[in-house]
Amino acid sequence: MTRGLFVTLEGGDGSGKTTQAELLEAWLRERGRSVVRTREPGGTDVGVEVREIVLHHRGDIAPRAEALLYAADRAHHVATLVRPALERGDVVLQDRYIDSSVAYQGAGRVLDPDEVRRVSEWATGGLSPDLTVLLDLDEESARARLDSAPRRFDRLEAEASEFHARVRAAYLDLAAAEPERFLVVDASRPVDEVAAAIRDRVGALL
Indicate yes or no: pTM above 0.85.
yes
37-54 pLDDT, tens digit each: 999 999 999 999 998 998
Average pLDDT over residues 182-198: 97
Please tell me the predicted confidence (pLDDT) of residue 1. Answer: 43
Class of CATH domain 5-205? alpha beta
54-79 pLDDT, tens digit each: 888 877 899 999 999 999 999 999 99
Q: Do residues 70 and 101 lie in contact, with contact meaning Cβ atoms separated by under 8 Å?
A: yes
- The stretches of the chain forming alpha helices (DSSP H) are 17-30, 45-56, 63-77, 83-88, 98-101, 113-124, 139-147, 161-177, 191-205
CA distance 91 to 82: 10
- pLDDT at residue 173 greater than cutoff 70: yes
Q: Where are the domains of the chain?
A: 5-205
- pLDDT at residue 148 greater than cutoff 80: no
- pLDDT at residue 156 greater than cutoff 80: no
